[in-house]
Amino acid sequence: MKILVLNAGSSSLKYQLFLMESSEVLAKGTCERIGAGGFITHKRGDEAYSEEVDFPNHGVALEKVLSLLCSKEYGVIGSVKEIDAVGHRVAHGGEKLKESSLITESVVKYLETIVPINPLHGPPAIAGIKACLALMPDVPQVAVFDTSFYSTVEDSRFVYAIPYEFYENDKIRRYGFHGTSHRYVSAELAKAVGKPIEDLKMITCHLGNGSSITAVDGGKAIDTSMGFTPQEGVVMGTRSGSIDPTVVTYLMKTKGYTAQEVEDILNKKSGLLGVSGISNDLRNVFSAAEEGNYRAQLTIKLLVNSIKKLIGSYVAEMNGLDALVFTAGIGENQSNVREMVCENMSYLGIEIDTDRNANFTRGIPFNITKDGAKVQVWIIPTNEEYMIAIDTQRLASK
Ligand code: AMP
């Protein structure tokens, strides 16, 4: 079975074509600058191809993707008919779409109704789905939501302590994001330690440019750090993570900023970039810190503290912990962050083997637990696209 996985952003369209029998990626690529020029990079194995193309919208970008996938020079299939199903990454499924779903007219209509609470990611996802329905009307399409892993979170952990009408009428609540990644790595961790997921309490740390931490008890998410939007929680590349909300109104009152300006500051100019003044890429922040830059050193401390606090609170919520998982760009690659996060956590049973942590093998589940420690600590590479392909295969085969 061949499954095309699509991830539509506001000006981008990422794709991967999977051969499910061998879990192989036949081809993958990215369309960029959609709506403002256009550029495509396409990879088949080690061969890479790129081209400037005019992409006025996601539909034209998708046409280009399909023609490349079928082309003699760079293609991997003879015709679009070989694509058995399409899986779409959809950031937000609102309160109703609690699991991955076959895309029907009513699913698209519901996604349109929740655009107000998902203004950045909703419209491109819907555009990607509509483009696919128009170009491949007979191919089953599946939507996989970042939020659906959190459908098991209880109301006492998703309702904010603001007037209840804002939840009832405006649907303001914690939704959580990156769920597909947390779902994938929690299942992989259970496989790696050879125990049923139902018997495990774990905390999964997805640390990348966007970061989130999730408490998973018995395979079910019970709490997560991102909230109404992906703004809440850990310090991120350019996002502040959790702050006192009064900072927003104070900035508006004293500086005359508009709501949009404050949102841009907290979303695009904060986090690692905002505090260090150097970069949203942690590698650059570390280089500056090593040269003695105070703000870079402070940034790293803020990041590590924000992660530690969440780990502690989730251990408290679950009354224990069997495994701690690190994933995504920082989690998978930055030994120093893993070491700092796990430092002075022996009270909770978290202790890592610093040699194994420093000399880890990339790209595979890797155990960095100190011998005899109570909590297993693992690096698990995430693979959201493959998780989307698996859900798509399951639903499309029904
Ligand atoms: P992501 O959003 O998952 O791509 O993660 C981006 C973050 O991961 C950046 O802050 C990078 O510093 C970090 N990162 C990504 N790849 C590497 C790598 N190979 N080595 C060290 N850090 C990395």
Q: Tell me which residue has its CA closest to atom 21 in ligand 1.
A: 333
Half-sphere exposure of 335 (CA within 13 A, CB side): 14
Condensed to tens digits (0 to 9), the pLDDT of residues 62-79 reads: 999 999 999 999 999 999
Token pair, residue 366, equals 């890797």
User: What pLDDT score was predicted for residue 178?
Assistant: 96
Cα torsion through 174, 178, 184, 186, rounded to 10: -50
Which residues neighbour 181 within 8 Å (Cβ) at sequence distance 6 or greater? 204, 206, 327, 328, 382, 384, 387
Tell me the mean pLDDT in the region 139-159.
97
- Ligand 1 environment, Cβ below 6 A: 208-209, 237, 281-283, 328-330, 333-334
Query: Which of 333, 336, 362 has the most ligand 1 atoms within 8 A of CB, as the residue to mutate?
Result: 333
Condensed to tens digits (0 to 9), the pLDDT of residues 329-341 reads: 999 999 999 999 9
Condensed to tens digits (0 to 9), the pLDDT of residues 196-239 reads: 999 999 999 999 999 999 999 999 999 999 999 999 999 999 99
- The DSSP symbol for 240 reads -
In sign, the C-alpha dihedral spanning 344, 244, 226, 153 is positive
DSSP string, 73-98: TT-S-SSGGG--EEEEEES--TTT--
User: What pLDDT score was predicted for residue 120?
Assistant: 86
pLDDT at 398 over 90: no
- Strands 376-379, 323-327: pairing kind: parallel
Compute the C-alpha angle 275/276/282, nearest 5°. Answer: 110
Condensed to tens digits (0 to 9), the pLDDT of residues 116-137 reads: 999 889 999 999 999 999 999 9
Which residues neighbour 273 within 8 Å (Cβ) at sequence distance 6 or greater? 237, 238, 279, 280
| Atom from ligand 1 closest to the CA of residue 330 | 8
The whole-angstrom separation of Cα 44 and Cα 65 is 12
Q: Is 146 one of the annotated active-site residues of the chain?
A: yes
Condensed to tens digits (0 to 9), the pLDDT of residues 166-203 reads: 999 999 999 999 999 999 999 999 999 999 999 999 99
